[in-house]
Structure 1
Amino acid sequence: MRFLIIVLLLLHSLAHLAALSQDMSTAAGVGWLMAALLFAGAAVLVFIRKAWWALGLPAVLVSQVLVILFWQDAKLGTVANLLIALAALLHWAQWRFQQETNREIQALLQADAGAEMIVTENMLQELPAPVQRWLQAIGLVGRRSIRSVHLRQHGWMKLKPEQKKWTEAVAEQYTTTAVPAFLWQARMKFLPFLHVSGRDLFQGGHGSMIIQLASLLPVARVSHNAKVDQSSLQRYLMELPWYPSAALQPYITWEGIDHTSAKATMTYNDVSGSATFLFSEAGELQEIHAWRYKDSDEQAVPMECVGAVREQKVMDGIRVPTKLDISWLLPQGPFTWYRLEISGLAYK
C-alpha cells in the first residue's frame, strides 16, 4: 500500500510537470509547478513515514482547481486526485487517532507515582505457597519492583466461534502498577486497504473501549458501564504475570486454594474482581481463570474466561508468558477468540 501511494504521487507529480510544456499563463504555470512539488514532497514524506497528508491534501486541492480550469485536457487527473485524497484522509484519521491515544498514554504514565523498591523474600512470606514459588521462579526476588511496562503484541482474533478466518492484529500496551491502569491500542486488518483501530483503557477503576473503522468511522464506543469497569479490572488482574511485582500491591489480596493454585482478588475504587492462577509443581504459571462479562449490554452475564500459557521466555530480566490463548468457556464449549504473542517488553 505504501509503495503504491508513493508511485501514484510521483506519477501525478510528473504529469503536472509535463503539463508545463503546454501554452499557459505564468500564473497557471506556477500552479502546475506548485502541485508537482507538493505531490513530490508528499511522496518523500510517505517514504520516511511522516505525516504526508499535510502536503498531499493541499496538493490535491491545487491540482483539482487546475484540472477544472483545464478540464478538456486534464479531466482524467480527477481520478488520481480522488485516490490520493482518500488515501490522505485515511492517513490523517490514523494520525489523529494516534495523537489522541498518545495523550492518554502520557496522562496514564504521569499519574503513576509509585516509589521503587527492591523485592525481597520477606515480602513474599504472607503470600500462598504456589504464588511464592512462582515469583521466585520467574526471577522477581532481588530486583526492583515494576512501576510500568510497555509491551508489543502480535495477535490473531475471531469474533464468533463459527468464524473460520482469523483477523491479524498488531497491538501495544502500557500498564502502570502503583496506580493500576492500562491502555491497549490495536490495529487490525479488515480488508487489504482498510483497517480497524481499537483502544481499551482502564483508569481510575473504570474501563472504556473505542473501535473505529479506518481510524475514522465509529463502530463502537463504550464507557461509564459497570460491566465494562469490572471486566477491565479483571483483565488487569489476569495480565498480572506481565508485571508480577503488582502481586504485592495492597489493592490485591491472595487466598491459597491448594498446592498449585491460588485466588487473587483485586479491589480498586469500589470495583472488585477475582482470578484463579494455576501453577505447576515447580511454580510455572499454566492458566488463569476469571469470570468476566463478554458483552456490556443489559443481557450480558459473567462467563468464565481462560488465559492458557503456551510459551514463556525471559524478557527484561523476568520470565513472562509470551504466547497465550484467550478463551471463553461457552455453554457449547471453549471458544478461543484471541491468540497473542509478545514481541517486545520493557520495564520501568
Structure 2
Amino acid sequence: MLLLIGILIVLVLPTSIFYGHYRFYSMVDKEVQNMFNNLGNTEKVVTKKDLAPLPKKLRDYLIKVGIIDACADCHATFKQTGRIKTGQDKKWIDFTATQYMTADVPSFIWSAKSFPIFIRDKSVRGKGEVKVSLFGMKDIAKSNTYKTDQSALARCLGELLFYPVGFLSNAIIWENGNDGSLKATIIVNSTKTEGSFFFNEEGLLNRFESKRYMNESLENFTGIAEDYKKINGLLVPTKMRAIWNLKSGDFEYFNCTISDYRIE
C-alpha cells in the first residue's frame, strides 16, 4: 500500500504542479491581452506639444528620460527579481515576476511567483484585485474591495516611473508642491487617489509618497526608485524599494531589480 501511495505521488504531483502553473499563467495571459486590446495601440508618437500642459519640472524630466518621439500608447512589459516580506516579523522571500503596463488609461498587471505561491495584482481601468493561489491551483486569498481599488491605483501611479509615458495621461491632475515636489491626483472611473513625486539632484524622479491600504488600515507609503538606465530608448529606474511608514517605524517590505524591459 505504501509503495502504491508513493507511486501515485510521484505520478500525480508533477502533473498537478504543471496544471497549476498552466492554469495561473493562462489566466494572467488572458487578462493582459484584454487590457492591451481594450486600451488600444495606434503607435502615435509623443511630441513636445504633448508636454505643454505639464509643470515645467515634469516636462524637463520627461525630456530627460527620452519620451519625445516615443510611442504614446504602446505597452510596457518587464521582468523583476526581488524579495518581499509578508509581515514585519517575517523573513524575506525571494520572488520572480512580470509586470505589464499601459500608459493611458494607466493600468498594470503584476504576475509573481514564489513557489508554491503565485500572486496576481492588478489595477485595470481603476479596478484593483489581488489574488494569491497555492501551486496556481487553489486561491487562498483574494481582495477586490474599494480599498483594493484605491491601493492598486496608488501603486499604478507611483510605478509610472517605470513607464513615464503614462505621466501624460489626462487622468492625472498635476500641482506644484511647496517643497519642490509634484502632487498628482489620478481619477480613473470611480476610483481616485493621489501622491507626491520628488526629484533628485539630477532632475530625475526618485521618490513617491502616498497613502495606501495595508490590510484594512490606511497608511503612509513610500516608493524609492534607483539606478536609472537607458533601455529601449527610455531612461528608467531599474531598482525599486517599497516602504510602509508606520507609527511604529518604517517597514521595508519589497525590493526588486528590473530586467528584460520591452515596449510593444
- Fold match, TM over 0.5? yes
- Do the aligned residues in 2 keep the contact of 1:146 with 1:347 (CA within 8 Å)? no
**Structure 1 CA distance, aligned partners of 2:71 and 2:143?**
36
- Do the aligned residues in 2 keep the contact of 1:147 with 1:178 (CA within 8 Å)? no
Identify the match of residue 182 of structure 2 among 259, 262, 266.
Answer: 262
**Partner of residue 9, structure 1:** none
TM-score, length-scaled by structure 2: 0.93
1:219 aligns with 2:140: yes
**Structure 1 CA distance, aligned partners of 2:110 and 2:164?**
18
1:122 partner SS? helix
- Do the aligned residues in 2 keep the contact of 1:152 with 1:342 (CA within 8 Å)? yes
1:144 aligns with 2:71: yes
Identify the match of residue 335 of structure 1 among 247, 251, 259.
Answer: 251
Q: Which has the higher strand share?
A: 2
1:168 aligns with 2:94: yes
- Do the aligned residues in 2 keep the contact of 1:114 with 1:179 (CA within 8 Å)? no
Deviations 1:30-78 (A, max 9, x none): xxxxxxxxxxxxxxxxxxxxxxxxxxxxxxxxxxxxxxxxx9xxx8355
1:185 aligns with 2:111: yes
Letter in structure 1 aligned against 2:134? L
2:20 partner SS? helix
**Partner of residue 61, structure 1:** none
TM-score, length-scaled by structure 1: 0.72
> Structure 2: where are the runs of 5+ without partners?
none
**Structure 2 CA distance, aligned partners of 1:188 and 1:139?**
34
**Structure 1 CA distance, aligned partners of 2:89 and 2:3?**
45
Identify the match of residue 207 of structure 2 among 257, 264, 287.
Answer: 287
**Partner of residue 238, structure 2:** 322
- Do the aligned residues in 1 keep the contact of 2:117 with 2:133 (CA within 8 Å)? yes
> Structure 1: where are the runs of 5+ without partners?
1-70, 190-194
1:201 aligns with 2:122: yes
1:76 partner SS? helix
Query: 1:119: how far off?
Result: 2.0
Letter in structure 2 aligned against 1:110? N
- Do the aligned residues in 2 keep the contact of 1:112 with 1:177 (CA within 8 Å)? no
**Partner of residue 271, structure 1:** 191
Which range is displaced more, 136-145 or 169-178? Answer: 136-145
**Partner of residue 126, structure 1:** 53
1:157 aligns with 2:84: yes
**Structure 2 CA distance, aligned partners of 1:318 and 1:258?**
29
User: CA separation of 1:142/1:93 partners in 2, compared to 1, >3 Å: closer, same or farther?
Assistant: closer
Higher RCO (CA-CA < 8 Å; seq separation 6+):
2
CA RMSD, 1 decimal: 1.8
1:345 partner SS? strand
Which range is displaced more, 115-124 or 154-163? Answer: 115-124
- Do the aligned residues in 2 keep the contact of 1:129 with 1:259 (CA within 8 Å)? no
Query: 1:129: how far off?
Result: 2.2
- Do the aligned residues in 2 keep the contact of 1:131 with 1:283 (CA within 8 Å)? no
1:239 partner SS? helix
Query: 1:121: how far off?
Result: 2.5
**Structure 2 CA distance, aligned partners of 1:214 and 1:325?**
27
Aligned residues: 264
User: CA separation of 1:126/1:281 partners in 2, compared to 1, >3 Å: closer, same or farther?
Assistant: farther
Query: 1:146: how far off?
Result: 4.3
Deviations 1:190-235 (A, max 9, x none): xxxxx10011122232111110111123220122x11001111111
